[in-house]
């Protein structure tokens, strides 16, 4: 059987959240072909994944055409798509109906506000009978050569280093710069070595690398008692998916829906009246970080205390799916 998985939501984290479904689909048909259609930035995460037969790429703003070409070229027996914009869900359904094949074109149906997105995907696919029961967390597959390179690249860092990841592709997801600097001081004062991916005042950044190299560094630090701390971003999800203990900071997104399956999820301002857990792109703050409750930035992240984050690091980050209120 040939299966096509379409994930064109655009975010690196979106692809990480669908990885458990990809792996479950492979387990359901180990002798078949499994092709993933996605965007270039995240596609590298699939390079060494034995579950994936091939990867096809879509250009931004040309996603529907990419799906049309994939359907025509592959004639898949099963299509699973996380993507419905631009009529892609209907396109997939119509193609399956015309050829008498299967499609699962809506894995967002009737979402509850407190079910993790990646787990929701898996439950729907199991209900549709295309994967077996059971919930699994995301896994990014690294080669032993990559893991060795990650260890070499982080050899100079002390065991137990806390790696700060302050960047975010969207301003609405950024914890304030002064909070990051204060966290670094608090951790060092408590005896924890600190490094950063990106700019944190007073912290030496790691040398730049590509996404797979970064994933390998995350994994290497995790092997030596390190912890990765960052916002609701793709790289932080990658850190958790390669086994690094991880603390994730959530503000505009609700951690019980978008949190890490493994790691500690810290929720800022859970009672925000403007948050829309099942329609985050419709939130007043989402696209420009314009918060109705603050003139200096998203109140939900401003009000996530440094002391709470430092305590989560000290307590350890291995609690699976834990959500704590900041």
Which is nearest to 56 in space by CA: 35, 71, 74?
A: 35
Nearest to 298 by CA among 310, 313, 283: 283
Q: What is the pLDDT of residue 316?
A: 73
Q: What is the pTM of this model?
A: 0.93
pLDDT of residue 278: 87
Domains of the chain: 2-127 (3.40.50.2000), 156-325 (3.40.50.2000)
- Residues 143 and 48 sit within 8 Å (Cβ to Cβ): yes
CB of 55 closer than 8 Å to CB of 46:
yes
pLDDT at position 10: 86
Question: Side by side, which strands form the sheet with 102-104?
Answer: 54-57, 33-38, 2-6, 78-81, 102-104
Q: Express each pLDDT in 242-261 by its tens digit.
A: 999 999 999 999 999 999 99
Residue 247 backbone dihedrals phi, psi, to 5 degrees: -115, 120
Burial status of residue 271 (CB atoms within 10 A of its CB: 0-12, 13-18, 19 or more): exposed
Q: Which stretches of the chain drop beneath a pLDDT of 70? A: 317-326
pLDDT score of 324: 62
DSSP string, 228-242: EEEESSHHHHHHHHT
Beta strand 162-165 pairing with 194-196: parallel
Q: Is the dihedral of CA 12, 18, 20, 24 positive or negative?
A: negative
């Amino acid at each position: 059987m040939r299966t096509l998985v379409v994930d064109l939501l655009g975010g690196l984290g979106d692809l990480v959240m669908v990885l458990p479904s990809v792996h479950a689909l492979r387990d359901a048909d180990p002798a078949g072909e499994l092709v993933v259609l996605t965007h270039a930035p995240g596609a590298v995460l699939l390079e060494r994944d034995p579950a994936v037969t091939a990867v096809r790429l879509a250009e931004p703003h040309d996603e529907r055409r990419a799906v049309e070409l994939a359907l025509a070229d592959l004639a898949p027996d099963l299509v699973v798509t996380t993507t419905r914009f631009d009529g892609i869900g209907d396109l997939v359904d119509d193609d399956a109906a015309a050829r008498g094949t299967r499609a699962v074109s809506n894995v967002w149906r009737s979402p509850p506000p407190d079910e993790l997105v990646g787990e929701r995907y898996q439950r729907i696919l199991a209900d549709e009978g295309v994967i077996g029961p059971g919930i699994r967390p995301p896994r990014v597959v690294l080669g032993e050569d990559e893991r060795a390179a990650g260890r070499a690249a982080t050899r100079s860092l002390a065991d137990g280093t806390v790696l700060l990841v302050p960047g975010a592709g969207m301003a609405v997801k950024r914890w304030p710069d002064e909070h990051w600097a204060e966290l670094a001081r608090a951790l060092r004062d408590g005896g924890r070595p600190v490094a950063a991916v990106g700019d944190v005042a007073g912290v030496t950044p790691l040398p730049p690398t590509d996404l797979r190299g970064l994933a390998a560094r995350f994994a290497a630090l995790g092997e030596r008692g390190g912890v990765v701390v960052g916002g609701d971003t793709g790289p932080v999800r990658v850190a958790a998916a390669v086994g690094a203990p991880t603390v994730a900071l959530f503000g505009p997104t609700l951690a019980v829906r978008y949190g890490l399956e493994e790691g500690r999820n810290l929720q800022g301002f859970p009672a925000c009246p403007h948050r829309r857990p099942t329609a985050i792109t419709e939130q007043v703050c989402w696209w420009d970080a314009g918060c109705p409750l603050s003139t200096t930035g998203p109140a939900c992240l401003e009000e996530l205390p440094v002391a709470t984050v430092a305590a989560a690091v000290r307590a350890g980050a291995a609690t699976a799916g834990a959500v704590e209120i900041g």
